[in-house]
């Protein structure tokens, strides 16, 4: 199976979500995930990006999803791999790794 570089997006905000008190911030989750994916899948490229839901970049799809997170009161951080939501509020590594492996990633 040929592997395409996965795009991992972490949507969040500076302020911790009201339902997520005592959990890491969205930025901390982004840093933790980047390190965990790099360790689990060494030398397998992936793109990871943190997106502030209140000031997203101009890319239309990203702006649309950021607005959805706000409008639907989703628990953030929300983790997307390509177009699949794999975590909300307190993402689980097992779920994230499982989705990456569906895209051809192999543990190192």
**E-strand spans in the chain?**
6-12, 46-52, 78-81, 84-88
Supply the range of the domain harboring residue 24.
6-102
Residue 108 belongs to some domain of the structure = no
- Among the residue ranges 9-18, 43-52, 56-65, the one predicted with the least confidence is 9-18
Over residues 53-83, the pLDDT tens digits come to: 999 999 999 999 999 999 999 999 999 999 9
Residues whose CB falls within 8 Å of the CB of residue 21, separated by 6 or more in sequence, listed in order: none
Residue 90 belongs to some domain of the structure = yes
0.75 exceeded by the pTM? yes
H helix runs in 7-92, sequence order: 26-40, 60-71
For the domain that residue 36 is a member of, what is the CATH number?
3.40.30.30
Assign 3 a pLDDT band (cuts: 50, 70, 90): low
């Amino acid at each position: 199976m040929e592997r395409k570089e996965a795009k991992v997006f972490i949507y969040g905000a500076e302020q911790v979500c009201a339902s997520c008190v005592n959990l890491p911030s969205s930025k901390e989750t982004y840093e933790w995930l980047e390190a965990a994916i790099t360790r689990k899948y060494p030398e397998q490229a992936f793109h990871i990006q943190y997106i502030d839901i209140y000031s997203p970049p101009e890319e239309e799809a990203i702006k649309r999803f950021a607005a959805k997170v706000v409008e639907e009161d989703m628990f953030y951080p929300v983790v997307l791999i390509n177009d699949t939501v794999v975590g909300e509020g307190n993402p689980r590594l097992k779920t994230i790794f499982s989705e990456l492996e569906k895209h051809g990633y192999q543990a190192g």
